[in-house]
Structure 1
Amino acid sequence: MNNSKLFNRHDQSVAIWLLMCCVLVFCMVILGGVTRLTGSGLSMTDWRPLIGWLPPFSDAEWQRVFNLYQQSPEFLKINSYMDVSSFKGIFWLEYLHRLLGRLIGIAFLVPFLFFLIKGYIKAHEWPKYFLMFILGGLQGVLGWYMVKSGLIDNPFVSQYRLSAHLSAAFIIYAYMLWVAMSLLFPSKGNQTHPWYKRSLMLTALTSITIISGGFVAGLKAGKIYNTFPLMGDSLIPPGTMALKPLWRNFFENMTTVQLDHRILAIFTFIVIVGYWVKSRKANLPARSKPAVNALLCVATLQVALGISTLLMSVPVFLASSHQAIAMILLTILLYILHSLRRV
């Protein structure tokens, strides 16, 4: 068999594996969002990454786990009414979230070793995959670091740690997706398309908007000012600069954080509309054009979901959908960016 065809087949196999890992990470992010929205994230108060993958089976084991939870600030300050039966309702989501994290590690490591032994992955590309594995492990540690912030005095996780955990998940997802696309769509030239820089800037703007959404989630800032376009009776409500020093308002003030996310989301949408309008006359690669159309459609849906989520006081389904569409939006932008990198 021709060597180039063999390597192409190998690259396709590796790319499909990476895309499957991306799907798992996508599911992990959504499940994590549902876990947070249902108040289940602090139900497991210990972290045993290697031996803690089995759930409680016996009544005695359930009681042991529940006893640990009863020592947490969430139980003492919020859920003191719970018994073992009601505790199980919040335990399972967090358990499944952690179990999926372990499964992702296995789904990455086992095929990676297979491809490595079989020579499917070229030696000079090994560092890319080692980095993916390291990032995945660090993400697990970061997840526990986030949960731990809600197990000390305050029964809520730090919005800084939650945003870092969410951002890390998006980075891992984006990195694996980019490597997969590079295997499926090898570079044809040495020059980037003129639209590459503006697409990169749009991707950066969208990423910042997503991170700001992480702070909204961490502070539960979507629960206040459930009106649109006004926040209460005004565009800029009182108290937006109440904290000192002033920079804290952008990360710790619920009112300011929601206002920031509104402004960023609307601005990002306007930029996407402008990007789409100008793309009509641009000489874009063939595979970029449908993606730009999809970008506008998904961005419109995302804005509608965001407003609906706000007006309805953050129902679980809408809020989870809003997070899922954010990942889809980023996926489309990365696809467009990749199609413009070297043409």
Structure 2
Amino acid sequence: MANTINLNRKNTYITIWLYLSLFLVFLLIFIGGLTRLTESGLSITSWELFSGILPPLNEKQWQNYFSLYKQIPQYKEINLGMSMAEFKYIFWWEYIHRLLARLAALAFVLPFIYFLVKKFFSFKQIVLYSIISLLFFFQGFLGWYMVKSGLVTNTDVSHFRLSTHLLGGQIILALIFYSILFRNVNKIYLNFYSYLVLSFLIIVFFQIVIGAFVSGLDAAKLYQTWPLMNGYFVPEDVFIKEFLNSESYSSASHVQFLHRVVAYFTAFIFVFIFYLLLKNKIVNSKYLLIVLFAITFQILLGIFVLISGYKIYLASLHQLGSIFLVFSIIYLFYQVSISQK
């Protein structure tokens, strides 16, 4: 009886830990998206791994942060003459994002170490949770590496580094969600359909990366029409052969066109997967419909972001929609992998 109580208590602790971590990382990505959309990411110009835990507490500290911001190109070329009140607005977004990042990392890593000492995990769980822990620390480095790219010559962060940082956050979130689903699964049946769903997830991650390019280059401020791009499927300043050149991925026009095309391709591929899984009765159709809804919702949000003139709240919803889409695909993978068909 005592062993049963202890086992239930252990499972309860682990469940709370995983769901809390999932929520914090979700919130972190949400705030991170708003930090980018409000162009607040360069307001704190040093890493401040430990010293930046407390915000400015007096006017002198505020002036110090503001004076450091005034030295970077973003202020000199875009925000020259910004008031202290305007600076505080962008500062708080970046500060909250950094504070939440610390909290999310500690909320995952510290309980993991405790549970590890208590021998709560199997070997496979130890490996998985160790990878997630390392990814948290790597994300911190990527965040600073991203910010650093906008402090010397550029007025914004590198969209390549931005996409890597976002992808890292999405992968951490996906792995935590995966661990929640599979924690008590004794047998996994990996087959052709499992790998097909995983391949589709990789395509979606690629689309998320392209979406980060769009955000980093403010590409959604161009061609705010749909279904055509100012009357053309392929706009006049986009040349397909140039996609073989890395410079095209720094072109707002090329990146927006690619993001549109990959969205259509993603929808087409899933229709094929939907048909295949339904025809062979691999999973219940409701799990397929969830993914189909998530894809449709994402495409519609992307369209609304464009035709609305790039409203921040729609762009933020579009990013959150990508999380819902990733979750729905992982859940589909879960259903396929526990099926013996």
- Normalised TM-score (structure 2): 0.92
Aligned-residue offset at 1:124: 5.6
Amino acid at match of 2:108: F
State the partner residue of 2:238. 240
1:312 aligns with 2:308: yes
Return the match for 2:225 from 207, 224, 227.
Answer: 227
Deviations 1:145-201 (A, max 9, x none): 1011111111111111011111111111112222222214x1335x32442122122
Change (3 A) 1:94 1:290: same
Deviations 1:314-340 (A, max 9, x none): 211000000001011001101111222
1:257 aligns with 2:247: no
1:325 aligns with 2:324: no
Aligned-residue offset at 1:273: 3.0
Q: 1: CA distance between counterparts of 2:38 and 2:190?
A: 45
Aligned-residue offset at 1:22: 1.6
Segments of 5+ residues of structure 1 without an aligned counterpart are none
Q: Which moved more, 1:151-160 or 1:174-183?
A: 174-183
Amino acid at match of 1:148: K
Identical residues among aligned pairs (%) = 36
Aligned-residue offset at 1:106: 1.9
- The equivalences for 1:180-219 within 5 A come to 180-184=180-184, 186-188=185-187, 191-219=189-217
1:297 aligns with 2:296: no
State the partner residue of 1:53. 53
Whether contact under 8 Å (1:146, 1:157) holds in the other structure is yes
RMSD over aligned Cα atoms: 2.3
Aligned-residue offset at 1:290: 2.8
Q: 1: CA distance between counterparts of 2:242 and 2:300?
A: 34
1:159 aligns with 2:159: yes
Whether contact under 8 Å (2:150, 2:156) holds in the other structure is yes
Amino acid at match of 2:324: I
Equivalences, count: 339
State the partner residue of 1:64. 64
Q: 2: CA distance between counterparts of 1:9 and 1:193?
A: 35
Amino acid at match of 2:308: M
- The equivalences for 1:100-179 within 5 A come to 100-122=100-122, 125-179=125-179
Whether contact under 8 Å (1:226, 1:310) holds in the other structure is yes
Aligned-residue offset at 1:119: 2.6
1:283 aligns with 2:281: yes
Q: Which moved more, 1:102-111 or 1:254-263?
A: 102-111
Aligned-residue offset at 1:94: 0.6
Aligned-residue offset at 1:5: 8.5
SS in 2 for 1:230: coil
State the partner residue of 2:331. 335
State the partner residue of 1:82. 82
- Normalised TM-score (structure 1): 0.91
Q: 2: CA distance between counterparts of 1:202 and 1:43?
A: 37
Q: Which moved more, 1:4-13 or 1:92-101?
A: 4-13
Whether contact under 8 Å (1:291, 1:336) holds in the other structure is yes
SS in 2 for 1:33: helix
Segments of 5+ residues of structure 2 without an aligned counterpart are none
